[in-house]
A and B are shown apart, each in its own frame.
Chain A
């Protein structure tokens, strides 16, 4: 009777001590997940999610305060990658894919003031000062900062039109496949 009692409490004590020591010596400062997620974000600080920056958004995602799908330029794909990283299932319910937008410069009004060029986080606007500017669509996050800052309202956002090249089949309206 006594021997099992003793040995079990000894075992418990030893393991508890080991845990306590491990907790002290292997302690990790801050949440490493936040940094890892932050590294996955576009980091262009576009602000389309309504948060002050990509780092804040990453932190809130990890803490579950915002939806994983809140990053507009990252979209569904980024949300899925973050969900995989965090090991949580991604719910796409209620998630509507926002039609991507790009900025377009109306060259007849553009004065070449280069304000848009300076504010753009991704260098999507090209053209030197006093020259007319253009936009590289692939780099544009559609954040709209250039639209706000343009003194002559020469920039507007446009939805990217679907072409034969980008058109995709929709998911079949299925009833049957299981297994």
Chain B
């Protein structure tokens, strides 16, 4: 039973609630150094899974010589992305190699021995805005562009969806709220015009009239550069948003800029909005204007264990160790090697894994930076609830998960959780809250699969039993019919 008036009162109290945390950002010195260009490494390792969705299918064979930009693997489904060669070389092997993932599991990978930088003829387009939205989206799809913010969702399906679903607003995410990372910051500072053209191309593709670019206010130079680039476009508004983790989460930034709230479980397009990352916009610009597939990305190499932290533009497939070496190597033994940001990134078992399309950072963090401390008892201080961008109750959810009550956790909103890690970051008892939630989500997923399989087995068993019974009945009927026929024939013979 709910009383509307009381609910309104509660809403007012809730609205006063803050969300988010203010971690030590540690973006310097990488954020103030120019993007460096990593020379071609001798070997490139291109996993066939670099994006959300189905793995790509290799179309080259071992021993094939390829040019830079040449297609190596085609999209393996509607939600998938092709993979291209970042350099000219010879396919050395296609087989399982360690993935940039905490599990250390192997993933099908194309190994390319680099021989040079000769590339295929790129289809340069001098007037991209003359192309139809469909053609633009097709070119983005062919270039293998995925979400560069870390989620690596293939961009093309999102663009097609935007066209179908009457999207009025394009939100461009320049939040970059993760500590250490400054690849988007540098990109906007140094290549604002390219980013802006990408933004306009995306807007053209999805037919969005309004463009909002959100940049956290700890990146004033980038914000200014983007504002300058956007000067002549009245439909583009470059806005400075408060620095607060996780402001760079699509939903949070969108809500901050548009005031709209994304209904739970719904897609952005359903409320007429699409969110793309600035890195994605830049990749779109390269793909359309210069016909270049997505083969390079900017990676922040940082952490106190790295001698000269900086941003590097690297060929995708470069081993992480090559990046760290180029930045002067390690000064001390790091406690954690992380791909991505420290809040949501993935711990790497070693640096011998490749940079992939979604790798925004390679971090070598010392024990002092990580500040990992022994767990204490939860005193229900509520910090986790106060910082949760979704206003969940992490403490209660974690208690449920720990007690094995996954459904209880789900009722508290487990599936809404972004696993942004703000709760784990702030928890004074150092509880691994977001770890509990990832565990619980995985467990629930596996349980669902198991349930589905049991149901399917039951159905199939039933179906087979019925089929066998039907076949037996048919056989019997057939026998009877033949017998009857034979009898009748005999009868006839007799009468004759």
Contact of B429 among A45, A138, A170, A176 (CB under 8 A): A176
**Is B278 interfacial (CB-CB < 8 Å)?**
no
**Is A7 interfacial (CB-CB < 8 Å)?**
no
**Is A179 interfacial (CB-CB < 8 Å)?**
yes
Q: Are B461 and A42 in contact (CB under 8 A)?
A: yes
Mark each residue of chain B from 388 to 429: 1 if its CB lies under 8 Å from any CB of chain A, else 0. Answer: 000000011011011000000000000000000000000001
Mark the stretch among A12-20, A26-34, A58-66, A73-81 that contacts chain B.
A73-81
6 residue pairs, one from A and one from B, having the closest CB atoms: A168-B442, A176-B375, A122-B460, A169-B439, A42-B457, A44-B461
Give bound CA distance, A13 to B429, whole Å.
62
Q: Are B454 and A177 in contact (CB under 8 A)?
A: no
Give bound CA distance, A141 to B454, whole Å.
9
User: What are 10 A-B interface contacts by the 8 Å CB criterion?
Assistant: A44-B460, A122-B460, A162-B103, A163-B107, A164-B107, A168-B439, A168-B442, A169-B438, A174-B402, A179-B399
Contact of A76 among B103, B447, B457 (CB under 8 A): B447
- A77 to chain B: which residues have CB within 8 Å? 447, 450-451, 454
- From known contacts A164-B107, A177-B398, infer whether A123 and B377 are also in contact, taking CB-CB under 8 Å: no
Smallest CB separation, B376 vs chain A (Å): 6
**Is B17 interfacial (CB-CB < 8 Å)?**
no
- B451 to chain A: which residues have CB within 8 Å? 77-78, 81
Smallest CB separation, B358 vs chain A (Å): 13
- B49 to chain A: which residues have CB within 8 Å? 164
Apart from A77-B450, A172-B436, list 10 A-B contacts with CB within 8 A. A42-B454, A42-B457, A75-B454, A77-B454, A78-B451, A139-B456, A174-B432, A174-B436, A177-B402, A179-B395
Interface size range on A against B:
35 or more
Q: Are B431 and A177 in contact (CB under 8 A)?
A: yes
- A167 to chain B: which residues have CB within 8 Å? 101, 103, 105
Which residues of A line the B interface, CB within 8 A? 41-45, 73-78, 81, 120-124, 138-139, 141, 162-164, 166-172, 174-179
Give bound CA distance, A41 to B459, whole Å.
11
Smallest CB separation, B450 vs chain A (Å): 4
Mark each residue of chain B from 468 to 496: 1 if its CB lies under 8 Å from any CB of chain A, else 0. Answer: 00000000000000000000000000000
**Is B462 interfacial (CB-CB < 8 Å)?**
yes
Closest to B394 in A: A177
Query: Which of A41, A123, A163 has the most chain B CB within a 10 Å cutoff?
Result: A163
**Is B337 interfacial (CB-CB < 8 Å)?**
no
Chain B: interface secondary structure? Answer: helix
- A120 to chain B: which residues have CB within 8 Å? 464
Q: Are B439 and A139 in contact (CB under 8 A)?
A: no
Smallest CB separation, B227 vs chain A (Å): 41
Give bound CA distance, A163 to B99, whole Å.
10
**Is B165 interfacial (CB-CB < 8 Å)?**
no
- How many B residues, CB 8 Å from partner? 43
Smallest CB separation, B66 vs chain A (Å): 25
Smallest CB separation, B179 vs chain A (Å): 22
Contact of A176 among B107, B431, B439 (CB under 8 A): B431
Q: Are B376 and A176 in contact (CB under 8 A)?
A: yes
Contact of B439 among A42, A45, A171, A179 (CB under 8 A): A171
- B436 to chain A: which residues have CB within 8 Å? 171-172, 174, 177
- From known contacts A122-B457, A139-B460, infer whether A179 and B443 are also in contact, taking CB-CB under 8 Å: no
Query: Which of A121, A122, A170 has the most chain B CB within a 10 Å cutoff?
Result: A122
Closest to A122 in B: B460
Give bound CA distance, A77 to B443, whole Å.
10
- From known contacts A164-B99, A169-B442, infer whether A122 and B399 are also in contact, taking CB-CB under 8 Å: no
Give bound CA distance, A174 to B103, whole Å.
20
- A176 to chain B: which residues have CB within 8 Å? 375-378, 429-431
- A169 to chain B: which residues have CB within 8 Å? 435, 438-439, 442
Give bound CA distance, A44 to B459, whole Å.
9
Query: Which of A75, A77, A120, A172 has the most chain B CB within a 10 Å cutoff?
Result: A172
- B376 to chain A: which residues have CB within 8 Å? 176
Query: Which of A43, A124, A141, A170 has the most chain B CB within a 10 Å cutoff?
Result: A43
**Is B22 interfacial (CB-CB < 8 Å)?**
no
Give bound CA distance, A75 to B105, whole Å.
25
**Is B458 interfacial (CB-CB < 8 Å)?**
yes
Smallest CB separation, B64 vs chain A (Å): 25
